[in-house]
Structure 1
Amino acid sequence: MVMVLLTEVKMQTIIIDTLSPEIVRIILAINLAMTILISLVLILGAIWQNKYLLLPWVVLGLMLVIGLVISIIYTAIRFYIWGDAITGTIYLVAGLIGNGIFFYLWLVVFSYYQLLKEEGGHGFYAKTRY
């Protein structure tokens, strides 16, 4: 987050190109802070075996997977338009592999959420065992 706020790297959004770089940095910093908060809630939900604490990360993760696919394809197409096919191909392949790994990790958390949901929502000790 410090790098986002202090470096002079040109950042832009896909949809709205008219935003100033400072506004884009603020949006990105808020996004990173919320991601850190939701990830901490995920960790607490896994420790306490509470499905309700896992749910925000499950929703965020699915939105990130969809957003990353759109961003990867958009950026690769821009490289192809600029005539840099090698960089576009590398970005496309590496981005889709990374996104595939992230989707797998999302599936792991989602399957744990489903398991907690089947067990009553508050961990394995919520039901009486016979």
Structure 2
Amino acid sequence: MQLKTCCRCCSLKTGTIFSGVCGIVLAVISLILIFTANVEWKTIIIDILDQTAVKIIFAINLCMTILISTLLIIGTIRKNTFMMLPWVVLGIMLAVGLFVSVLYTAIMFFINHEVINGVLWLIFGLLVVVVYTYMWLVVYSYFQELRIEKLSKRMGPYGKPYTYRRP
């Protein structure tokens, strides 16, 4: 499925830049929260890690998010699909990871008999997954649009590639 606009009111290019900016802003806010909020941070897979190690892992991931989102913005402005590719590839993996994380956390709330927290986490978490997936689809659609545009520039007027060279 390929979109034609972002939110039916903006171009895909604008939506792609917005996605990159949101990624940077949310990553910076998360970095600040990780090191200032008094919260016990856990990972799903490795539950025995020290809090400092978990914070460092999250911080590295957030720094990579800032880097990849910056590449997305620059790639969008320059119409460079190669620079956009890391965000496109990792974005869909993050959407799946976010979905799994939301389900896991909600299930853990239900297991611990915190039904209200589980329901709220499920509702808001799935809403975030839907919004994130939509924004990924906007970026992917613009990425595809640029690839098609590049391919059509290499084609002749009859849909065949130019194969001759000028002397």
The TM-score, its normalising length taken from structure 1, stands at: 0.90
Which of the numbers 115, 120, 128 marks the counterpart of 1:98?
Answer: 128
- 1:88 corresponds to 2:118: yes
1:112 aligns with 2:142: yes
Secondary structure in 1 aligned to 2:55?
helix
Highest RCO, 1 vs 2 (Cα 8 Å, sep ≥ 6): 2
- Identical aligned residues as a percent: 46
Match of residue 15 from structure 1: 45
3-state SS of paired residue (1:119): helix
Deviation at 1:98, TM superposition (A): 1.1
Deviation, 1:86, is 1.5
Which residue identity is paired with 2:140?
F
Are 1:75 and 2:105 counterparts? yes
Contact 1:65–1:103 (CA under 8 A) maintained in structure 2: yes
Question: Structure 1 segments of 4 or more deviating over 4 A?
Answer: 126-130
Name the CA distance, whole Å, in 2 between partners of 1:26 and 1:51: 31
Q: Over residues 50-99 of structure 1, what are the superposed CA-to-partner deviations in whole Å (9 max), with x where a residue is unaligned?
A: 11111110112101100001000000001101111121011101111111
Measure, in 2, the Cα distance between the counterparts of 1:8 and 1:93: 25
* Structure 1 gaps, min length 5: none
- The amino acid of 1:36's aligned partner reads I
Q: Which amino acid aligns with 1:118?
A: I
Equivalent in the alignment of 1:24: 54
Paired with 1:128 and 1:81, the residues of 2 have a C-alpha distance of 59
Work out the CA distance in 2 between the residues paired with 1:7 and 1:94.
21
Answer yes or no: is the 8 Å Cα contact 1:5–1:29 preserved in 2.
Answer: no
1:72, 1:92 within 8 Å by CA — same for their partners in 2?
yes
Q: What letter corresponds to residue 108 of structure 2 in structure 1?
A: R
Amino acid at match of 2:118: G
The yes-or-no answer on 1:62 pairing with 2:92 is yes
Distance (Å, rounded) in 2 between the aligned partners of 1:74 and 1:118? 39
Larger CA Rg, structure 1 vs 2: 2
